Structure 1
Amino acid sequence: MSLVPVAELQDYIGKELGHSEWLNIDQERINQFAECTGDHQFIHVDPEKAKLTPFGGTIAHGFLSLSLAPKLMEGIMLMPKGLKMAVNYGLDSVRFIQPVKVNSNVRLVLTLIDVSEKNPGQWLLKAKAVLEIEGSAKPAYIAEMLTLCFV
Structure 2
Amino acid sequence: MLADELRSMAPAESEWFKLDTARVKAFADATEDWQDIHLDAEFASRSAFGGTISHGFLTLSMLSAMSYQVMKGIAGVASSVNYGFDRIRFVSPVRVGRRVRGRFSIAGVDEPEEGEEGGWLDVHWDVEVEIEGETRPALVANWITRVYVA
Q: Same fold (TM over 0.5)?
A: yes
1:70 aligns with 2:57: no
1:139 to partner: Cα distance:
0.2
Letter in 1 for 2:120: Q
Residue 148 of structure 2 corresponds to: 150
1:5 to partner: Cα distance:
3.1
Residue 113 of structure 1 corresponds to: 107
Distance 1:108 1:74, change over 3 A: same
Structure 2 stretches of 5 or more lacking a match? none
Q: Output the aligned Cα RMSD.
A: 1.8
Distance 1:102 1:80, change over 3 A: closer
Give the alignment of 1:46-57 within 5 angstroms: 46-57=40-51
Quick check: which one's strand share is greater?
1
Identity of aligned residues (%): 37
Deviation per CA, 1:72-97: give whole Å up to 9, x if none.
Answer: 11111378743332111111110000
Distance 1:98 1:84, change over 3 A: same
SS of equivalent to 2:48: coil
Deviation per CA, 1:23-62: give whole Å up to 9, x if none.
Answer: 1111111111111111111100111100001211100000
1:111 to partner: Cα distance:
0.5
SS of equivalent to 2:107: strand
- Structure 2: how far apart are the matches of 1:124 and 1:79? 18
